[in-house]
Amino acid sequence: MRIAFLVAPEGVEQVELTAPWKAVTETGDIPVLVSTKAGRIQAFNHLDKADTFPVDALVGDVSARDFGALVLPGGVANPDFLRTNEGAVALVKDFFELGLPVAAICHAPWTLVEADVLGGRTLTSWPSLRTDIRNAGGTHVDEPVRICEAGPNTLITSRNPDDLPEFCDALVTEFAKTGVPAS
């Protein structure tokens, strides 16, 4: 199955991209780096520049129908940029409308807030997003990982890089339930 990893051109927390990427690759799935700008994205280790990664596809050139699931890595700047990009927000909404699973870690739920897909859902995130999640109609919990099956799709969320083992286990398990074959 092809899995979209949606990131901004700059600001993604590197480990929140690379650990889930490795986890889905190990299952035989195909991760695809989707961004709003062609070329390479700049990852960060907190506030310090880290590695760059090649963009596989542009937001405007893909549809949620091209994938079986979506991963939204965090980093403060990454989701802050994505939530101001109309195409990125529309792509996220499409995953929810199609009932495809979505996984988001740390600050990534900011993009979900903007996409207006949190009503009636329970999720976790970086603590500073609690009020934003509540204001968007969601319920915030402080747990390493939360799987929410309210609504048309499964939403897997996690708080921070320390929770990556639980997050990666949950997302590969939930993604496997989609029944979409690897391609």
| CA distance linking residue 16 with residue 71, whole number of Å | 10
Q: Are 170 and 156 in contact (CB under 8 A)?
A: yes
Q: Is 137 left (phi over 0), alpha (psi -120 to 50) or beta?
A: left
Q: Which is the catalytic residue, given 107, 140, 148, 168?
A: 107
| CA distance linking residue 52 with residue 68, whole number of Å | 25
| CA distance linking residue 72 with residue 52, whole number of Å | 17
Q: What Rg do the C-alpha atoms of the chain give, in angstroms?
A: 14
Q: Which is the catalytic residue, given 106, 140, 148, 168?
A: 106
Q: Is 46 part of the annotated catalytic residue set?
A: no
Q: Is 107 part of the annotated catalytic residue set?
A: yes
Residue 115 burial class via C-beta count within 10 angstroms: exposed 0-12, middle 13-18, buried 19 and up: buried
Which residues are annotated as catalytic? 106-107
